Amino acid sequence: MAKRKEIQQLLDEIESEYRFTRGMTGKAMLSPMVKQALSKIQRDKFVPHSVVDSAFANHPLPIGHGQTISQPYIVALMTDLLELTADDVVLEIGTGSGYQAAILSLLCRQVYTIEYVEELADSAKLRFERLGYGNIEIKSGNGFDGWPEHAPYDAIIVTAAATQVPGPLLEQLKIGGRMVIPVGRQYSHQELQLISKNQQGDIDIKDILSVVFVPFQGERNE
């Protein structure tokens, strides 16, 4: 009962932040489907024991190796912006502890997720198996190159700030697909961007919100 109360309080805080930022994001309210997914995923299962008391707080938390689990509001917003359908195939760059991938898995057919830090990838894989997330496939590697074997993707989500949008990810985005990615340098301005590819293959980029993310590991100059 206590955990259910904490989850509801977190959802209330997310919805409050949606209303506060709607002038920037264009999203006045949390999607009912995303809200339902958030309510089903217990964030305390995805954070280290040392910070489990803060698991349902609406802010990022450290997960080791210089990485963080994102603020739930940002997780909700990025998921919402993808506008997923049940048959979609999604690529995630930056698995972390697996919280974002778990939420995505409830909203689409398949999630492929890549984590640069091998130790985090290994622990996330075990966590997915233990919690029964059968439609998530994970590997350790450089997310800059995407995962071409399973492309194209209906949606791509990047959970670390790149200085530019990686070309391979644009190539692997399906016609009509959407990508959400923070762009900018560490300790400098970062902007959450929504990227869409129209029927002619042209790319449209929309700035959504100023954000703070850990840097994209393995990024290369193109």
CB 161 within 8 A of CB 214: yes
Residue 70: active-site member: yes
What is the amino acid identity at position 9? Q
- Rounded distance between C-alpha atoms, residue 23 and residue 46, angstroms: 31
CB neighbours of residue 161 within 10 Å: 23
Q: Is the peptide bond before 182 cis (omega within 30 degrees of 0)?
A: no
152/112 Cα distance (integer angstroms): 12
205: nearest Cα among 215, 216, 192: 192
Residue tagged active-site, from 70, 97, 105, 123: 70
Give residues with Cβ within 8 angstroms of 156, minimum separation 6.
90, 91, 92, 93, 146, 169, 172, 173, 177, 178, 179, 180, 181
- Rounded distance, CA 74 to CA 137, Å? 23
Distance between CA atoms of 43 and 103, rounded to whole angstroms? 10
The residue type found at 166 is P
Residues marked as catalytic: 70
